[in-house]
Structure 1
Amino acid sequence: MTMKVVAAIDLGTSNSCCGYVLETFNPPYEPICCCPGIVSDVYEKTPTALLVRRGTLEAVSFGADAITAWQNDNNSGEPPEFHIFRRFKMALYTAEPGADTVVQAEDGYSMEVGSVIRKSLKLFKESLIAKVNRENANYITDADAQIRWYVTVPAIWPETARAKMQTWAHEAGLLRAELTLEPEAAAISNLKRSSVEDQIRRNDLRKFMLVDVGGGTVDISGIQIQKMDPLQVSNLYARRGAAYGGEQVDAKFRQMLTEVIKHAGFSRMTQQVAYELSAVMDHFAACKARYGNQRVDLNRLLDALYDERYKSTQYDREAEIRSGLSNYNRSHSTNLLFRSNFLHFNDNEMQHFFQDTVDGVCSAIRAALDEHDVSMIVVTGGLSRSRFLAAAVKEQFEPVTSRNRRMRGIIESGQPSIDIARGSVIFGIDKILGNETIQSRILSRGYGVMCIDGYRPLVKMSDSVGVGETRDSYGQPATPEQTSCLIPFYTHGADPYNRDEQRQIGNLELAIRPGIDTAVGYRIYFGDTTLRMEAMGNGSNNRTDKNPKTQPVISLRSMCHEIKYLEYIIYRT
């Protein structure tokens, strides 16, 4: 059946969206962006929020619709019907390899993160199919055959996290889904905008840096432009970034609330007042994209904290909050105000909440610039809408003040919130048309296998690998009677033989033919999104066969408890 849709899901830490293009894949094409439910006017996306029914754990809705339903549930006066999960994506980044990873709903209920992500991706799939068929008269009749799916992940995620995400996408019904790296997708999106393309052609720019600042991470990709038509690029350096984003700004605001509200046990009561606290944080999140004097309503949160016991006394709630603010202002050189149950602040205070994140982002950019000169910096991602971040990047890195005299300027993306989904769709369409947009990448870690005689590096950290490039390796069974061989697969750091920097990420399982002359061989394929291994050789000791017989794709047995077998392991850098 004909491929009719290319779609990409950008499941973000704070906000999410989906992009797609229908059957006509020949340029020019412009991906359509959509979300389950209502889309935010500020971020052009929907909040990352999954609503599930208590007891059955059936997925009910996603995004702004989920938040509205949860609010109505809490205001109904009846026993609650739902759990809501928010900001769950970063649990994969911080999880220990092989550990069972759970995330908590706003009310404290725990669920395995893979289940939350699978349910979310499935709702995205159902929403996209319903939208396309509603607008195009049952256009999609066989989603498995007619849709090519892409799911985005941060570049700084470890291999195990990326492997989990792709496996969960498949289990959610996104068959043959591939991964795209978020900064690379954002770079492709911007290079396909006429304003950026014109500047590149006019100034003959060849090297630039893409800085993607989202909800949970800053991802940095250095791009070398090889051709503009068709677009072909390669990496300048290995993946870079750090855990700085909008969530860190929110965490600092929440920390302020904890210090200011002196009600006994507030920090331990956050689950009991989850709805009220979530409403305050959503209000603050909207403030991050605005300027000038602002205020956040604390009335319902304070009502929930200061219960009926205080209403019968002469207790002065407002006086206590003001006292707490006074102490905070002295400690942090801020001027936060509390009047009529509203917390008031201006740009200076907002910059205080942003400062740690801004410093972290600029530090990551500086480290990347120290490694490679670039002609231009493109800043994108939801948090790039903040003028505090934009002003800091311009102040520190524009040509006038930058040590990098070759830099021509800094560009802010025109559509930072949807760049990742848009670029992923364009990347997928180019593949269908036979153009590999990403020609090569720089590995952030090396890869190797553990053999009887010790560790054997196959590729080194900082190696440049091309799409479709292969590496071959051979070995001899330990005994002639062996019929199978389990080869531990590792990543390593700058020194391949430093045990402290080696990390096992899977096991390569080979079926071999008994015999003293049998050679155990395997070939590694460096694809655009996966590292794939195949058994090879014809069972003889001929180790120089230039056209070895390729057997079916072998399994990599995962170290992760929830994934029993993998056919490939994600390596993208």
Structure 2
Amino acid sequence: MPKGIVDVAVDLGTSRTAIGISIPGRSENEVTVCTPNGSGHCRSAQLKTETAALLEAKHPHGLLAFGKTARERFIKDAQRDEDGGGCTGRRTTSGAPNMLFRFFKTELCKNSGYTSVDQPVATAEGGETLPLMTVMTAVLRHIKEDVLAHLSQRLEVDPTVADVNWVVTIPAIYDDFAKRFMRVSAHRAGIISAVDDASQLQLCLEPEAACLAVSIKEAPLLAKAGIKLMIVDCGGGTVDITTHSVESRRPLKLKELATPTGGEWGSVCVDSMFMVWLRKLFGATAFARVRTTWAFYSLMDYWEEAKTAFQGKEDEDVSLNMVDVVMELGFDKGKLAELVAAHNHDLEPTHHLTRMNHYIDLPSGLVRTFFAPTIDKIGNCLRSLRGKPLLRDLKYVFLVGGFSCCPLVQQAARAELDRGGCRVIDVDRRELAIVRGATIFASNQLAFSRIAKLTYGVKSTCIYDSSNAEHVKRRSSPPIWDSAGKEVIDAFSTHIKRGAYVPSDGTCTRRCYGPLRPNQTTVSFQILACHHTDIEFPDTDSTFPLGEVTVNLDMRASFEDRGIAAEFVFCESEFLLRCFRGTTGERVAEVEMSLVQEVQEM
């Protein structure tokens, strides 16, 4: 359980970041939302800053700036280089440019089969690469130091990391490897003293954080047990969707109705389509020249406002002021006119650009093509969820996250879900719902009954059956016998099946295992996981080991009383294996294990 004197939530999003701070014991609504100091915003402002990190090229690649300031410094230094400022600017004394990293969190959504937390790679704006762990650790270390400095001014004592109940938000679609990665990076950043210390750091799924914020803000809607709700968290990099039923209101207990789903369908996908169009309009060479300039980022800032407000109406053109980009490229009005004419040449009239001096008007039909792939994926996912039997009486859908402010996202959600007694609810200040909920989560954990993603169990034995072909195939040579003289073979003893509910406290079925022979002094538990539901044998396809625990037997007890009971307790990216004396219930072992296959931390 949390033990600090202050709750701090770090909502490190793909494109935007905010920090929430709360003093336990105060009102749930007393959450201060701020951005890291020096990020380019007033730290007390109720908004987020960019998730952008400027790192030194030289080892150990220290963080030079974060947030909007990082981008501004990167562009300023690049311009100084271009103007002949030499190594005092973007380039270091080693001659290598400093590196700007944005959208680096998306690498953890790719499920690339990593076995080491040092394998994922982050790519900078200039094409340079670093281990993602280096970037993430630098960012978390900066946030940690900034938070502690802020708290020292706010509290009567200078706090340490141990005085803080830390929460870091993560997308619901993160797999166990990504969750483990975040814990290791927090450990290397000095936020926690041990990777698995849940008393210092909790990982909170972003839509579940939003769910807590919504449950407070919209309490009257969720007053009755049995109400089914959906959280659609539309952020910069991902869209995460969770579905729950209310089991009780006080305390709030929710039951997961379907495995969290979603995808890389955030607002940056729309930006990527827009940039593909820009590259085609100006040409690859010109686009590369302007890509890291003030002019380009100014244009993207303007596009961000237009994108958020765009409703998709037939006559809703988007006007872009291209004067800075044109001047940066050295183009005159005639060149811009040529580019517009070339663009329109092979396109249908509904996609034709119009130009007035340095302004270009993009017709609604063209702008909708930037949104279409992303909006279609969101709509298809919502439609598939709506068709699930458990969700046919869905009552409320809450849209949260910055991208949910986009009218086209709202239209897609309503088109798929706002029917048959289901209402899509506009959440107040939806862009801050996650950070506010995560801050409250630090000392007020929700009770979630989750769905197991895999089947988990231990390697055990069963009585050999010579009439069973599967047994014959797995017969040991030489045979193995138990104390009663019966031949046994290896078996898979299931503790929880894939798709079954994990209780809200994470504790699953306890099973007792005895020794095979009277002279046996220990019993070993090999922990296994499998993608299949019904498993009999440990060599079943897609079964893999998670670890092994050996427990000493009480040789003073009778042979029949030497059994050891084992139970699994599921946490975030790890679980506990607890072992008890079968007759007395005395706990004799508790071991933490990663849920990730063969993950190496170094």
Short-chain TM bin: 0.7 to 0.9
Amino acid paired to 2:145: E
Q: Name 1:191's counterpart in structure 2.
A: 215
Amino acid paired to 2:74: W
Structure 2 length-normalised TM = 0.78
Cα distance in 1 for partners of 2:511, 2:128 equals 48
Cα distance in 1 for partners of 2:439, 2:283 equals 49
Cα distance in 2 for partners of 1:187, 1:239 equals 13
The offset of 1:493, in angstroms, is 4.7
The offset of 1:351, in angstroms, is 2.7
Is residue 2:410 matched to residue 1:390?
A: yes
The offset of 1:257, in angstroms, is 2.1
The offset of 1:548, in angstroms, is 4.0
Using a 3 Å threshold, how does the CA distance of structure 1 residues 294 and 536 change in structure 2: closer, same or farther? same
Using a 3 Å threshold, how does the CA distance of structure 1 residues 327 and 521 change in structure 2: closer, same or farther? farther
Q: Name 1:434's counterpart in structure 2.
A: none
The offset of 1:116, in angstroms, is 0.9
The offset of 1:250, in angstroms, is 1.2
Using a 3 Å threshold, how does the CA distance of structure 1 residues 2 and 552 change in structure 2: closer, same or farther? closer
Q: Name 1:75's counterpart in structure 2.
A: 79
Cα distance in 1 for partners of 2:594, 2:437 equals 30
The offset of 1:226, in angstroms, is 2.6
Cα distance in 1 for partners of 2:305, 2:459 equals 51
The offset of 1:35, in angstroms, is 0.9
Which range moved further: 238-247 or 104-113?
238-247
Match runs of 1:13-162 below 5 Å? 13-23=14-24, 25-36=25-36, 37-39=39-41, 44-56=47-59, 57-76=61-80, 77=83, 78-79=85-86, 80-81=90-91, 82-98=98-114, 100-134=119-153, 136=154, 138-162=155-179
Q: Name 2:7's counterpart in structure 1.
A: 6
Using a 3 Å threshold, how does the CA distance of structure 1 residues 555 and 155 change in structure 2: closer, same or farther? closer
Q: Name 1:209's counterpart in structure 2.
A: 230
Cα distance in 2 for partners of 1:445, 1:320 equals 58
Q: 1:526 aligns with which of 570, 579, 591?
A: 570
Note if contact 1:477-1:485 (Cα within 8 Å) is conserved in structure 2. Answer: no
Higher-Rg structure is: 2
Using a 3 Å threshold, how does the CA distance of structure 1 residues 184 and 116 change in structure 2: closer, same or farther? same
Q: Per the alignment, in what secondary structure is the counterpart of residue 430 of structure 2?
A: coil
Note if contact 1:378-1:411 (Cα within 8 Å) is conserved in structure 2. Answer: yes
Structure 1 length-normalised TM = 0.81
Q: Per the alignment, in what secondary structure is the counterpart of residue 133 of structure 2?
A: helix
Note if contact 2:9-2:168 (Cα within 8 Å) is conserved in structure 1. Answer: yes
Amino acid paired to 2:384: A
Cα distance in 2 for partners of 1:302, 1:485 equals 70
Q: Name 2:344's counterpart in structure 1.
A: 326
Which range moved further: 77-86 or 9-18?
77-86
Q: Name 1:274's counterpart in structure 2.
A: 292
The offset of 1:555, in angstroms, is 4.5
Q: 1:487 aligns with which of 526, 530, 536?
A: 526
Report % sequence identity: 21
Cα distance in 2 for partners of 1:197, 1:128 equals 31
The offset of 1:463, in angstroms, is 0.9
The offset of 1:89, in angstroms, is 0.3
Q: Per the alignment, in what secondary structure is the counterpart of residue 251 of structure 1?
A: helix
Using a 3 Å threshold, how does the CA distance of structure 1 residues 535 and 224 change in structure 2: closer, same or farther? closer
Cα distance in 1 for partners of 2:385, 2:533 equals 17
Q: 1:245 aligns with which of 256, 262, 266?
A: 266
Q: Per the alignment, in what secondary structure is the counterpart of residue 418 of structure 1?
A: helix
Using a 3 Å threshold, how does the CA distance of structure 1 residues 39 and 481 change in structure 2: closer, same or farther? farther
The offset of 1:180, in angstroms, is 0.6
Using a 3 Å threshold, how does the CA distance of structure 1 residues 140 and 163 change in structure 2: closer, same or farther? farther
Q: Name 2:197's counterpart in structure 1.
A: none
The offset of 1:247, in angstroms, is 1.6
Is residue 2:391 matched to residue 1:353?
A: no
What is the total number of aligned residue pairs between the two structures? 530
Q: 1:406 aligns with which of 421, 442, 446?
A: 421
Is residue 2:451 matched to residue 1:442?
A: yes
Cα distance in 1 for partners of 2:408, 2:174 equals 26
Note if contact 1:209-1:221 (Cα within 8 Å) is conserved in structure 2. Answer: yes
The offset of 1:456, in angstroms, is 4.5
Using a 3 Å threshold, how does the CA distance of structure 1 residues 362 and 27 change in structure 2: closer, same or farther? same
